[in-house]
Amino acid sequence: MKKLITALLSVGLLLTGVAQAELDNPGGIGGVESLRGASELEATRAADDFKKFPRDQVLDSEYVYQPPLVPHTIRSYEVSLNANKCLACHSWKNAKEMGATKISVTHYVNREDAVLADVSPRRYFCLQCHVPQAEAKPLVENEFKPVDSLR
């Protein structure tokens, strides 16, 4: 008898627990808001507009050793195993004629610190470090200030 009561009670407790959990969980994002605004998981929010890349802009460095940003649009500039459109202007061979900035001498050094005659393979994919900047406001406040020497 005692055993039966305990069994019944535990089953009852389990059921109320499940019911309780169901009531507590309203589903969706549970009222949590992301930086991009509230949107239910079940709903597909309309995509934001694309950010525009200015055709030409001046972008200063913010910290020492920062890879310089790309100050122009790079739409359909191919950087692949076959071709590197960046180097068509910025390589040491072409920079003078094109009036472009030369890539830094650090790009000619391989990981063993040996100086090579051409761009080091580890520096070939420009867009790993150098990126164009869109006109986009930061999502979180940022109090970063460049060092005195760069101000």
Partner 1 sequence: MKLLKAFWKRLAAPSKAAVGVVLFMGFAGGLLFWGAFNTGMEATNSEEFCSGCHAPIVQEIQETIHYSNRSGVRAICSDCHVPHEWTDKIVRKVQASKELFAYFVLDTIGTEEKFKERRAHLAEREWARFKNNDSLECRNCHQFDFMDFSEQSPRSAKQHSTALASGEKTCVDCHKGIAHKLPDMHGVEGWQ
The residues of the shown chain that bind partner 1, judged by CB under 8 A, are 55-56, 72, 75-76, 78, 80-84, 87-88, 91, 93-94, 98-100, 119
How far apart, in whole angstroms, are the C-alpha atoms of residue 76 and residue 91?
19
Ramachandran region, residue 34 (left: φ > 0; alpha: ψ -120 to 50; beta: rest): beta
CA distances from 69 to 25, 55, 94, 137 (A): 46, 13, 20, 17
Distance of closest approach, residue 146 Cβ to partner 1, in angstroms: 28
How far apart, in whole angstroms, are the C-alpha atoms of residue 24 and residue 27?
9
Distance of closest approach, residue 24 Cβ to partner 1, in angstroms: 48
Distance of closest approach, residue 110 Cβ to partner 1, in angstroms: 17
Residue 29 vs 92, nearer CB to partner 1: 92
Distance of closest approach, residue 93 Cβ to partner 1, in angstroms: 8
Residue 69 vs 95, nearer CB to partner 1: 95
Residue 22 vs 118, nearer CB to partner 1: 118
Residue with tokens 């009036």: 99
